[in-house]
């Protein structure tokens, strides 16, 4: 979800989480944590992140991530907005990390946010970051190139040894070397149960109730289940549930596909 008028899709995201967690548990074996990586949309992110972890455990995510490009150039923990993000995530009941990070509006990138991300102000809340990105592409975010490519099954595959793009590769390497993240050993870790209150409806920004009924689980017999409860009728007037194949659910608002889920 990237716009306020798309928040009606949130129950479908949560329903997909519920269905995939249920399916994994029904098969046994190792459980793979289910999470969500969100765009950094300030108007809806605080409500959405709380919505995904409120309610019954079987409906909620196991981790939350956000793509964030707030720290640009010679910024700071406070100026960049990182302090605000950490404040919003205080007490969050599941692990959180940045799934993308690495603003390019100021070049060369110095990656000075790494010391903050792995420092004492953020590590109590944040579980690290993924720097965007490894291989150089047309968007100019990469920190390495490869000397050649080959085609495999219609896809370009890198060939040869990676070549660092300087000075950004070296800058990132230096920042990581100077970071001293704190940690807790598995033996010393004591999990604590926490609950998050579902967000209230905010007209024009967060258009659903935090306690909104979720869409029913599709089945072979009923591949287009009703959006449960009378409170879902208005939303179904704006959303279309399209099933393609035996187990595929697409969420569409207007002419935009907001998500496709297979199981």
Cα four-point dihedral sign 200, 203, 208, 209: positive
Is residue 239 in some structural domain?
Answer: no
Closest CA to 48 of 258, 190, 233: 258
Q: Does a structural domain hold residue 101?
A: yes
Q: Is the pTM of this model over 0.75?
A: yes
On whether residue 245 sits in a domain, the answer given is: no
Whether the pLDDT of residue 178 is over 70: the answer is: yes
236 within a domain of the structure (yes/no)? no
Q: What is the CATH number of the domain that holds 101?
A: 3.20.20.80
Question: Is residue 223 domain-resident?
Answer: no
pLDDT digits (tens, 9 = 90+) for 4-42: 778 888 999 999 999 999 999 999 989 999 999 999 988
* 96 occurs within a structural domain: yes
Domain count, the chain: 1
Structural domain boundaries enclosing 133:
33-186+193-200
With respect to residue 258, please indicate whether it lies within any of the assigned structural domains.
no
Residue 85 located in a structural domain: yes
* pLDDT, tens digit (0-9, with 9 covering 90-100), for 88-110: 999 999 999 999 999 999 999 99
Q: Find the mean pLDDT for residues 61-71.
A: 95
The per-residue pLDDT for range 104-154, each reduced to its tens digit, is: 999 999 999 999 999 999 999 999 999 999 999 999 999 999 999 999 998
Q: What does the angle CA 100 – CA 106 – CA 111 come to, to the nearest 5 degrees?
A: 50
pLDDT at 233 over 50: no
Instruction: Calculate the average pLDDT of the chain.
Output: 84
pLDDT above 60 (res 260)? no
Section 229-256 average pLDDT: 40
């Amino acid at each position: 979800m990237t716009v306020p008028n798309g928040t009606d899709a949130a129950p479908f995201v949560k329903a997909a989480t519920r269905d995939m967690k249920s399916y994994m548990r029904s098969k046994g074996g190792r459980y793979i944590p289910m999470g969500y990586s969100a765009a950094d949309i300030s108007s809806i992110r605080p409500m959405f992140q709380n919505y995904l972890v409120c309610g019954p455990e079987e409906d909620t995510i196991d981790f939350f991530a956000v793509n964030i490009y707030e720290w640009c150039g010679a910024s700071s923990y406070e100026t960049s907005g990182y302090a605000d993000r950490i404040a919003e995530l205080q007490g969050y009941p599941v692990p959180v990390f940045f799934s993308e990070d690495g603003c390019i509006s100021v070049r060369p990138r110095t990656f000075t946010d790494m010391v903050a991300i792995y420092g004492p102000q953020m590590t109590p809340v944040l579980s690290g970051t993924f720097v965007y990105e490894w291989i150089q592409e047309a968007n100019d975010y990469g920190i390495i190139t490869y000397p050649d490519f080959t085609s495999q099954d219609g896809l370009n595959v890198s060939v040869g040894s990676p070549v660092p793009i300087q000075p950004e590769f070296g800058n990132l390497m230096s920042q990581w070397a100077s970071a001293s993240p704190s940690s807790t050993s598995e033996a010393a870790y004591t999990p604590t149960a926490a609950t998050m209150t579902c967000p209230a409806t905010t007209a024009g920004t967060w258009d659903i109730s935090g306690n909104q009924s979720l869409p029913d689980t599709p089945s072979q017999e009923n591949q287009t289940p009703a959006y449960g409860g009378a409170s879902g009728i208005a939303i179904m007037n704006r959303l279309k549930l399209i099933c393609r194949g035996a187990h595929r659910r697409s969420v569409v608002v207007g002419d935009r596909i907001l998500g496709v889920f297979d199981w």
